[in-house]
Amino acid sequence: MTQSGQGRNSARSIVIFFGVMAVFFLVGIWLIIFATGEGIDISGDKVALVRVENIILDSEEINSQLKRWVEDDSVKAIVLRINSPGGAVAPSQEIYEEVERAVKKKPVVASMGAVAASGGYYVAAPCSVIFANPGTVTGSIGVIMNLSNIEKLLGKIGLSPMVIKTGKFKDIGSPYRPMSDDDRQLLQGVADDILDQFIEDVAKGRKMEPDHVRSMADGRIFTGREAVELNLVDKMGNLRDSIEAAARMAKMNPDPEVVEEEERRGFADWLLDGKANTHLARAGMTSGFYYIWPAW
């Protein structure tokens, strides 16, 4: 046989060898799928974990994560892990809106930890499915505003505040004077309107009648088990159950790879044993209206 003929035979043998190996590889994958009876995730698809923790005073970080994972094609579902008593009204509403947008692109599952109350429940409402533990504290659908009056205290130390204003309501809520009936009526009207927004969004997210939500919107809290009976929560389950449910909804392996942004911890977190965010959030709370359960 000539040298060129031997070369062609060698090349042919190599092609045949790799062809046989490819067939065995494909058959092996098929056998695995057949044996398990369900599709196996071999593409590296992931579930992203986004944590909503402590008092909600800003939406930027959480919304940035949601947007990132929605745009990441390797992430097929998102789990929103909530351990929060709520917080300021506008940031809670901004997170709600971002979750609402995310749900239109891929499954978003809420997993409630120790507490997901008021604004913490608000951001869960538009999720595809909501999980809670039996003892999770949730609900607290309502609005609160805390004000103080220090007029008498200032008088005892000889201080007398003087205010120049352009209208009778310009210093409404001031700690330097008593609240008038007109003040209270105006602030109550604002609180009632903000409560209506809460009720409307929960009703929309949970596909419930607004009147049913309103019947629970007196600020009361519920356990996770009670919340299931009231349709505020879908199922009992922990974080693992929520991740598995998200994977099933995305038609993935029920034990998927879970990704999340690395937590940024500073010196204050180390000094306060990881409690810095909670303490700083409380210190950052100013007078105003809140979707918050204040007992947290």
**How do 108-117 and 75-88 pair as beta strands?**
parallel
Q: Is 118 a catalytic residue?
A: yes
Of 226-230, 249-253, 262-266, where does the model show the most confidence?
226-230
Exposure of 122 by Cβ count < 10 A (0-12 exposed, 13-18 middle, 19+ buried)?
buried
Query: Both tokens of residue 292?
Result: 């918050």
**What mean pLDDT do residues 35-50 have?**
64
Residue 12 has pLDDT above 70, yes or no: no
On whether the CB atoms of residues 242 and 77 are closer than 8 A, the answer is no
Cα–Cα distance for residue pair 257/70, rounded to 1 Å:
16
Higher pLDDT, 14 or 3: 14
Cα–Cα distance for residue pair 264/258, rounded to 1 Å:
18
Q: What is the largest CA-CA distance in the chain?
A: 116
Q: Which CATH class is domain 46-143+179-292?
A: alpha beta
- Residues 6+ positions from 134 with CB-CB distance below 8 Å: 223, 224, 225, 236
Determine which of 135-144, 154-163, 208-217 has the lowest per-residue pLDDT on average.
154-163
From the list 67, 165, 168, 170, the catalytic residue is 170
Q: How confident is the model at residue 128 (pLDDT cuts 50, 70, 90)?
A: very high
100-117 pLDDT tens trace: 999 999 999 999 999 999
From the list 118, 128, 140, 242, the catalytic residue is 118
Cα–Cα distance for residue pair 11/283, rounded to 1 Å:
74
Determine which of 41-55, 159-173, 272-286 has the lowest per-residue pLDDT on average.
272-286
Determine which of 2-6, 112-116, 204-208, 229-233 has the lowest per-residue pLDDT on average.
2-6
Q: Residue 109: helix, strand or coil by DSSP?
A: strand
**CA–CA distances in Å: residue 147 to residues 114, 156, 187, 232, 291:** 28, 20, 11, 31, 15
Higher pLDDT, 241 or 18: 241
Torsion sign (Cα): 276, 278, 282, 285: positive
256, 4, 272, 289: which is closest to 173 by C-alpha? 289
Q: How confident is the model at residue 154 (pLDDT cuts 50, 70, 90)?
A: confident
Instruction: List residues bridging with 112 in a β-sheet.
Output: 82
Exposure of 261 by Cβ count < 10 A (0-12 exposed, 13-18 middle, 19+ buried)?
middle
As a whole-number percent, the residues of the chain with pLDDT over 90 amount to: 70
Q: Is 156 a catalytic residue?
A: no
pLDDT at residue 285 in the model? 65
pLDDT at residue 79 in the model? 98
pLDDT at residue 19 in the model? 57
Exposure of 100 by Cβ count < 10 A (0-12 exposed, 13-18 middle, 19+ buried)?
middle
On whether the CB atoms of residues 51 and 119 are closer than 8 A, the answer is no
**What mean pLDDT do residues 281-288 have?**
64
pLDDT at residue 159 in the model? 87
229-256 pLDDT tens trace: 999 999 999 999 999 999 999 999 888 9
pLDDT at residue 190 in the model? 98
Determine which of 61-65, 208-212, 277-281, 291-295 has the lowest per-residue pLDDT on average.
277-281
Q: How confident is the model at residue 156 (pLDDT cuts 50, 70, 90)?
A: confident
Residue 269 has pLDDT above 60, yes or no: no
Q: How confident is the model at residue 41 (pLDDT cuts 50, 70, 90)?
A: very low
Determine which of 72-76, 143-147, 183-187, 274-278 has the lowest per-residue pLDDT on average.
274-278
- Sorted by where each begins, the domain ranges of the chain are 10-40, 46-143+179-292
Determine which of 13-22, 30-39, 235-244 has the lowest per-residue pLDDT on average.
30-39
DSSP letter, residue 1 = -
Residue 62 has pLDDT above 60, yes or no: yes
Cα–Cα distance for residue pair 210/187, rounded to 1 Å:
23
**What mean pLDDT do residues 182-211 have?**
98
